[in-house]
Chain A
């Protein structure tokens, strides 16, 4: 599914107009103002900050809650048939079939989701921007080659490609002669590999229109080198759309990681991952609902918060589409 970022360059015009009118507020200040006044986005931001804190301080959180670690198998928490117990005072979210505390695992699961999401998106953006910039600015055969390559990748069913690479790299001793070992690193790489193409396409489109703008043409006629133009003129104008796009891409990558874990090709056990926990639960959720509901709710909350923030960012950067 694609995401558009229409009219962000209207920002530029607004700036010029305001500047000419003597109101010398920088676009960034305006942006912050608008964002701050968006209550929903602020709440979402708070939730995200809290999630990040929880993820960073997971051991502390778990200890404060009085729960055992995420990999501690409590053999007294399963009955004689191996059925795990549900939420109790000792285990707020119940336990999974191995007797591991679901609360602790949900908290630690945040680490994986956020780490993979943020780093994966980061790498995807980096690669995508580079490719998009080069293709859009230099045009010619470089553009053709890169664009065609992106076309090929985009024709590939994304999830299947992810599954394929993940399972190929998880087995054996990793890919690229062991440089990529199974585990979180593999998943980050797979996700980045699979998502950079959409960014590349968007960036290329933006660069294509940017390079014809007056200030770029002016800079070129002044004799500025290509590199200078790219770094000083084009990149800054990409920041706004990139922020928006990244913030909308992030929840997608978090969902993608969870999907890969759900299918069993994500992070390897016993690392707690929300997708893995939901998959584990899918066999028994009719009688053991707790380890499906809690990780699922956590996932929903996280993704929702990022989506809301992304919406808020986009609205703040482009007030034309007012709510």
Chain B
């Protein structure tokens, strides 16, 4: 078991390095702006530009630059400095992380609390209006783009422009430490909107799984043994149906922690997703590299967790 975990973690590290290499290629080799220009400001003489390029190490071969970046990260835990603001990438990430985590955790809570009962109920009451409503709603949820839903939600419920002003509008996010109540209310709409897509997917998936599981032999046996329907459904059925969802959820959480760009954009939440998007627009390579690595880190860690959990539950997996 320990050996398996170790192997997975090592592979995770390798993955991170490879992701950083891929980032380097995509965001640096296919350049969208010259960092020396950005740094130099305007009307810099060619000599100044050359000097800055030398200072930034831009005139060295690609491999040397990449190696510098890697060694800085590995040995000094230094992610570099943003070209745009000259702040350290690490500090920018730390500053934005709480917002993303707030957004993600809240959305997760909602989608679990909603998707599980909905999926179960729809499965057990197949064909009834509850089922049809759930399935229909779920279909809408996965078909509507999340930013459009966000805009519609703001149009309906935002207190500055909405038809029924109930919740704070876009741009009202404050950190938890500043004003817990405002933090909470400003996140309600984003949570619901972000959760909606996931809820839809998971409710559908759970429903499908439950239907399959509930027609399995052992469930019939449990019923025949006289167990209450409730027990059958929730104890036996759900447990089996939910396993694939858990792994999926793990992966999706990892994904979301890397920043939900679209939701953050619509609601003006200063999270990692927004940071990354701004960095790309400004061709701020060190910041891009930092945010992408962070996001990949979350995805990889989530993957490892899921794999290890599986291995724990099913020993056959460990030998693969």
Q: Which residues of A contact B (CB under 8 A)?
A: 1-2, 4, 6, 151-161, 163-165, 167-169, 171-172, 175, 251, 255, 258-259, 262-264, 275, 278, 281-282, 285-286, 289, 292, 296, 299-300, 303-304, 307-308, 311, 320-321, 323
Contacts and interface: CB of A to CB of B under 8 A. Distances in A.
Contacts of A164: 23, 26-27, 280, 288, 292
Contacts, number: 138
A311 B127 CA distance: 16
Contact of B26 (A161, A262, A304): A161
Interface string B292-319: 1001100110010000000000000000
Nearest to A320: B212
A321 B22 CA distance: 40
B262 A262 contact: yes
Given A278-B151, A286-B155, A171 B32 contact: yes
Task: Identify whether the interface residues of A are mostly helix, strand, loop, or mixed.
Answer: helix
Contacts of A286: 155, 161
Contacts of A2: 248, 251
A296 B148 contact: yes
B139 A304 contact: yes
Contacts of B145: 255, 258-259, 262, 275, 278, 296, 299-300, 303
B296 A278 contact: no
Interface in B255-292: 255, 258-259, 261-262, 265-266, 276-277, 280-281, 288, 291-292
Contact of B266 (A158, A171, A282, A320): A282
A160 B288 CA distance: 9
A27 B218 CA distance: 30
A299 B148 CA distance: 10
B30 A1 contact: no
B30 A285 contact: no
A160 B143 contact: no
B147 interface: yes
B30 A165 contact: yes
Interface string B52-92: 00000000000000000000000000000000000000000
B201 interface: yes
A296 B148 CA distance: 6
Nearest to B291: A160
A88 B65 CA distance: 59
B19 A156 contact: yes
B32 A160 contact: no
Contacts of A296: 144-145, 148, 151-152
Contacts of A264: 281
Nearest to A263: B277
A264 B31 CA distance: 17
Contacts of A154: 299
B219 to A, nearest CB: 15
A253 to B, nearest CB: 13
